[in-house]
Every structure is written in structure tokens, then in C-alpha cells.
């Protein structure tokens, strides 16, 4: 026999943000834009959308003529009170919903969305939360979508919090929000951006392409001594690896929030 856990000893460190209530909405595709060779940006008009925090996601439901339905979750690339909701969808090789959204959907199409969802993997300006710790974002591939929403919200709010993004991506062609990131880097509340190319780097790039390793991670993130809040998003393998290294490097596990894009 020994001490039992108490609610106090193990309570999660952060209280949830107040976020809008979720619900089903009819969305109309306003515009599509080829984001990368494998991904499409989709702008949705969602009347009645209650707004969303940066980092939240939604469910998309598609219905076939015979009534068959398929539902998948996607991170939201936009935030704030607007009823224009932006997604950026990566095509999965054996996917059922993502190939439709990436290759077939066009302006005027209607689909159903449920959201906004998730109150944990979210960021709000320091003016709202009182949290002034630096923010380190770490993205693997399409995992950049909710982190882009955070970086954009940070610039929109001219938030004084130091903001840094480490973005691991296969090739220069696979970078999401390329032009937008260039703007965010030069914003009044700047984003410090570090890109790591895993397969092919731009010509003259200082480092050879390759998977990010622990030393490179350490060099490109706020040190643990600065007590950053860290948001990591990407495939399960990427997130597991990065989060383990961060803990080894002395980051407080309670300051690391993760979103894992798994399987199907």
C-alpha cells in the first residue's frame, strides 16, 4: 500500500480555453487552390460558423448518391470569428475522402462540417491568456496546417510573444503556405522560421537533405531554459520522435502539446 494518486497531484496543467460550441454546418466551397503537388487548399463558406481558435479542427462528412457517408477530421488553417474557414488537405495514397477533397472538389460544391473541435491543441494571444512564454511550433509535412493558423493569429494580434516554427518538409515544392510564411516572417510580430528538407533541398541550401536529428532539433528550437510552450504536429512517428527528444533535452512534458495524424 502507498499513496494513491489524487486529483491535485495529477491534474492537467492547463485549463481549457473558452471556445465556441461545436455543431453541424452546411459548407459551400468558395475556392480551391493547389497548395502542393499533393495537397489542396479549400476555402469554405460556413454560414453560422461560430468562429474558431487557432489550432482547432473540424469533421468533414461526405454523402454519396446511395447514402453512403464518410467522415474525416481536418485541422483548420484559419482562426477568428470569420465564417470563411480554410482547410489544406494532403492526399493519402489509400485515402477515401482526401483524394476527393484534393482532386475533385470545386467551387460551389457543398459538404457538411462539424466543429470547431478540440480545446487543447490551441493557441490564443497573450492578451487573452496572460501567458507570455515563448511559443515553439514544430511541424512535420501537412502537420503545419494548425501551426500556420497559430502563426497567423500571432501576427494578426501583433502579439509580443516570441514565436518560432521548425518545419520539416520533403522538398521545396511541398511547402504549404509558402508566400504567407514569407509575410509572417516580416510581420511586426515576426515569426522565426526554420525549414528542414528531408528529401531535396533548394539549390545552394547549407545543409544536406535528411530527416531531422536530435542535434538539429536542439539547435532550431527555443532552449528548455526559456520554458517555451511547444506545439508539435505531424505523423505519429514524427511526433513521437520529436516529443521524446524534447523531453530528453529538458523540456517540461506538460509544456508540450501534440497532434498526431494517424493512419486512415
Partner 1 sequence: MSFITRGFSGRGRERDDRLPPGQTLVTDFPVLSAGPTPEVDTDDWEFTIRTETGAHSWNWDEFMALKIDDVDTDIHCVTHWSKLGTRWRGVSLDTLFEDVETQYDYVMAHSYGGYTTNVPLDELLDGKAWVAFEFDGEPLDPEHGGPARLLVPHLYFWKSAKWVRGLVMMDQDEPGFWEQNGYHIHGDPWKEERYW
Binding site for partner 1 (CB under 8 A): 1-7, 10-13, 15-16, 19, 21-22, 24, 26, 59, 61-65, 68-73, 96, 100, 104-105, 109-112, 114, 117-121, 236, 240, 243-244, 246-247, 253-254, 256-258, 260, 262-264
Shortest Cβ 183–partner 1 spacing (Å): 31
Q: Between 139 and 243, whose beta carbon lies closer to partner 1?
A: 243
Shortest Cβ 68–partner 1 spacing (Å): 5
Cα separation, 121 vs 58, whole angstroms:
13
C-alpha cell belonging to residue 73: 477530421
Cα separation, 153 vs 163, whole angstroms:
11
Q: Between 82 and 236, whose beta carbon lies closer to partner 1?
A: 236
Q: Between 6 and 81, whose beta carbon lies closer to partner 1?
A: 6
Helices 144-156 and 178-185, axial angle in degrees (round to 10): 40
SS (H, E, C) 38-55: CEEEEEEECCCCCCECEC
- Peptide bond connecting 75 to the previous residue in cis, omega within 30 degrees of 0: no
Shortest Cβ 49–partner 1 spacing (Å): 15
Supply the DSSP symbol for 143: G
Q: Between 37 and 68, whose beta carbon lies closer to partner 1?
A: 68
Cα separation, 251 vs 217, whole angstroms:
12
Shortest Cβ 112–partner 1 spacing (Å): 7
Q: Between 6 and 207, whose beta carbon lies closer to partner 1?
A: 6
Report the 10 Å Cβ neighbour count for 11.
9
**Planar angle of CA 222, 254, 19, nearest 5 degrees:** 100
Shortest Cβ 198–partner 1 spacing (Å): 21
Shortest Cβ 155–partner 1 spacing (Å): 26
Q: Between 97 and 184, whose beta carbon lies closer to partner 1?
A: 97
Dihedral sign computed on CA atoms, order 146, 147, 152, 154: positive
Amino acid at each position: 500500500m502507498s499513496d494513491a494518486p489524487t486529483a491535485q497531484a495529477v491534474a492537467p496543467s492547463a485549463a481549457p480555453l473558452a471556445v465556441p460550441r461545436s455543431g453541424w454546418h452546411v459548407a459551400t466551397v468558395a475556392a480551391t487552390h493547389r497548395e502542393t503537388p499533393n495537397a489542396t487548399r479549400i476555402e469554405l463558406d460556413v454560414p453560422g460558423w461560430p468562429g474558431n481558435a487557432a489550432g482547432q479542427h473540424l469533421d468533414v462528412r461526405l454523402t454519396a448518391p446511395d447514402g453512403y457517408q464518410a467522415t474525416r477530421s481536418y485541422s483548420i488553417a484559419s482562426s477568428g470569428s470569420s465564417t470563411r474557414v480554410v482547410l489544406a488537405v494532403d492526399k493519402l495514397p489509400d485515402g477515401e475522402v482526401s483524394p476527393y477533397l484534393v482532386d475533385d472538389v470545386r467551387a460551389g460544391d457543398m459538404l457538411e462540417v462539424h466543429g470547431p473541435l478540440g480545446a487543447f491543441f490551441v493557441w490564443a494571444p497573450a492578451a487573452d491568456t496572460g501567458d507570455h512564454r515563448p511559443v515553439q511550433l514544430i511541424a512535420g509535412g501537412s502537420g503545419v496546417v494548425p501551426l500556420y493558423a497559430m502563426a497567423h493569429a500571432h501576427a494578426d494580434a501583433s502579439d509580443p510573444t516570441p514565436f518560432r516554427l521548425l518545419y520539416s518538409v520533403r522538398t521545396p515544392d511541398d511547402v504549404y503556405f509558402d508566400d504567407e510564411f514569407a509575410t509572417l516572417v516580416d510581420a511586426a510580430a515576426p515569426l522565426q522560421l526554420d525549414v528542414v528538407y528531408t528529401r531535396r533541398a533548394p539549390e545552394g541550401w547549407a545543409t544536406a537533405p535528411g530527416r531531422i536529428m536530435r542535434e538539429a532539433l536542439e539547435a532550431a528550437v527555443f532552449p528548455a531554459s526559456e520554458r517555451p510552450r511547444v506545439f508539435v504536429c505531424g505523423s505519429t512517428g514524427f511526433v513521437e520522435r520529436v516529443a521524446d527528444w524534447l523531453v530528453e533535452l529538458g523540456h517540461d512534458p506538460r509544456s508540450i502539446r501534440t497532434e498526431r495524424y494517424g493512419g486512415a
